[in-house]
Amino acid sequence: MLKEFELKEFNSYIDIRNGILHLEDVSLKELARELGTPLYVYSASFIRDKVRAYREAFEDALICYAVKANFNPEVIKVALSEGAGADIVSGGELYAALKAGVPADRIVYAGVGKTVKELEYAIDKEILMFNVESKMELEVLDQIAGSLGKKARVAVRVNPDVNPKTHPYISTGMKKSKFGVDIDTAFEEYIYASRLPNLEVVGIHCHIGSQLLDISPYREAVEKVVNLYHRLRKEGIEIRYLDIGGGLGIKYRPEDREPTPHQLAELLLPVLEGVEAKLILEPGRSITGNAGILITQVQFLKDKGIKHFIIVDAGMNDLVRPAIYDAFHYVLPVESKGREHIIADVVGPICETGDFLAKDRRIENLDRGDFLAVLSAGAYGFAMSSHYNVRPRAAEVLVDRGSYRVIREREDYDYILGP
Ligand SMILES: *Cc1c(COP(=O)(O)O)cnc(C)c1O
């Protein structure tokens, strides 16, 4: 098991006291006993620190927290308290951001398949900028804005065709991806957009992928975006916002070295020299990922001779990342009892072989009823959870300097089944 100082590399608000994991001075064992499991626990101070780190590294930038990573309005509020805006990809996320109190003029909206209803909603709320992903979307947005008697501010999402060297399912900036417009044809799209009467072209947007531990691809992408910026300005198209997306990677494995907003700024600010537009970033995972821990309880232990299984009450419906990305999450007992270690798979109760949280891990031998902590679960954890197997989704708790607050109650069966 990792030592306390190693756990602090995931989240500095983690402590071990009398062998028991604490987050922001709150005992995870007490929380699990009090509120039941599976339970998502998020650290408010961690979220505030991360937003502040971005704002300090990129001084005049607008930090639009990517709501899809964790849409709980109370989580969005914590980011907002440090001056963050919101990056949204659906009408529902717009609703969540507004509900949290994010001012509309700090909201940017991407997504390849925005519906008429969603576009109307966002035009009506006068969000800062639509990050438009196709020529057809430009046309539709222009028509709808016209019919509402409004103007919509737009950026074209460009595809800089760089390889972010991350999981193929979360790399979004390559030519063959469904996202954005090829950077080579983007110029023509801008000319086209600038002639549409109900659109105001104000920005350039790109987002090359997620979980980037090597930040060098950002530089290549931003260089291409800056080229386009200068070309457009020569054409008389005044670009006021340069939105370079999110994607900064986080530590999942003990050996991962996570890049900081400061390092990203050092890499990018020289490239942005001479650019007069306001910078926008859209970090999601790096804000909430390591703020969160999923707590789960051991139901059964099973020894199949060649393999041990620890069967827990959190499944792929609660945390799907291992199942769909073969993602790694560090798992450890909430309370260490100093036992010997075994090699085991930590698996959920769902009827799928893909339903696992961790494979072939060296872990302390546990008893039925013990609690396990799954680290780095604050982003794309609850947000991607489902009702598969009619399983109510987990409760969510926010801990903040010694106190805690339930920010989402556990669901019941009738909620799942509907009226
Ligand atoms: C998902 C997404 C983000 C956030 O990505 P992270 O890897 O969580 O930082 C930002 N912008 C857009 C357009 C996205 O789709």
CATH topology for 110-283? TIM Barrel (3.20.20)
Domain boundaries, the chain: 4-43+290-417, 110-283
- pLDDT score recorded for residue 163: 81
Distance from residue 281's CA to the centre of ligand 1 (Å): 9
- pLDDT score recorded for residue 416: 97
Number of H helices, E strands in the chain: 13, 21
Looking from the CA of residue 110, the nearest atom of ligand 1 is 13
15 pLDDT higher than 80:
yes
19 pLDDT higher than 80:
yes
47, 170, 210, best to mutate for ligand 1 pocket (most atoms within 8 Å of CB): 210
Residue of 193, 127, 121 lying closest to 157 (CA atoms): 193
Pocket of ligand 1 (CB under 6 A): 66, 68-69, 87, 89, 110, 207, 210, 245-248, 282-286, 379
Q: What is the pTM of this model?
A: 0.97
Share of the chain above pLDDT 90, in %: 93
How confident is the model over 62-88, as a mean pLDDT? 98
Distance from residue 59's CA to the centre of ligand 1 (Å): 21
Looking from the CA of residue 209, the nearest atom of ligand 1 is 7
How confident is the model over 304-327, as a mean pLDDT? 95
Residue 362 — pLDDT band, cuts 50, 70, 90? very high
Mean pLDDT of the residues in the chain: 96
Distance from residue 346's CA to the centre of ligand 1 (Å): 29
Looking from the CA of residue 131, the nearest atom of ligand 1 is 13
Looking from the CA of residue 379, the nearest atom of ligand 1 is 8
Q: How far is residue 334's CA from residue 311's CA, in Å, rounded to a whole number? A: 15
Residue 173 — pLDDT band, cuts 50, 70, 90? low
Distance from residue 280's CA to the centre of ligand 1 (Å): 12
* Residue predicted with more confidence, 87 or 173: 87
Q: Which protein residue's CA is at the shortest distance from atom 10 of ligand 1?
A: 246
Residue of 13, 41, 35 lying closest to 25 (CA atoms): 13
Amino acid 351 reads C
pLDDT tens-digit map of 207-257? 999 999 999 999 999 999 999 999 999 999 999 999 999 999 999 999 999
27 pLDDT higher than 90:
yes
Distance from residue 210's CA to the centre of ligand 1 (Å): 6
Residue 166 — pLDDT band, cuts 50, 70, 90? confident
pLDDT tens-digit map of 61-70? 999 999 999 9
Query: Would residue 64 show up in a list of annotated catalytic residues for this protein?
Result: no
Distance from residue 71's CA to the centre of ligand 1 (Å): 13
pLDDT tens-digit map of 263-299? 999 999 999 999 999 999 999 999 999 999 999 999 9
Q: How far is residue 291's CA from residue 296's CA, in Å, rounded to a whole number? A: 17
Q: Which residues contact 417 (CB under 8 A, 6 or more apart)?
A: 390
DSSP string, 14-83: EEEETTEEEETTEEHHHHHHHH-SSEEEEEHHHHHHHHHHHHHHSTT-EEEEEGGG---HHHHHHHHTTT
DSSP state for residue 370 in the 8-state scheme: -
Cis-peptide, bond into residue 38, ω within 30° of zero: yes
Residue of 162, 165, 139, 395 lying closest to 292 (CA atoms): 395
Residue 14 — pLDDT band, cuts 50, 70, 90? very high
- pLDDT score recorded for residue 70: 98
Residue 45 — pLDDT band, cuts 50, 70, 90? very high
- pLDDT score recorded for residue 353: 87
pLDDT tens-digit map of 180-210? 899 889 999 999 999 999 999 999 999 999 9
pLDDT tens-digit map of 107-138? 999 999 999 999 999 999 999 999 999 999 99
107, 167, 282, best to mutate for ligand 1 pocket (most atoms within 8 Å of CB): 282
- pLDDT score recorded for residue 306: 82
Of the CA atoms within 13 Å of residue 104, those in its CB half-sphere come to 12
Q: Which protein residue's CA is at the shortest distance from atom 3 of ligand 1?
A: 246
1 pLDDT higher than 90:
no
Instruction: Give me the catalytic one of 136, 306, 351, 417.
Output: 351
How confident is the model over 352-381, as a mean pLDDT? 96
Looking from the CA of residue 89, the nearest atom of ligand 1 is 15
CATH superfamily of 4-43+290-417: Lyase, Ornithine Decarboxylase; Chain A, domain 1 (2.40.37.10)
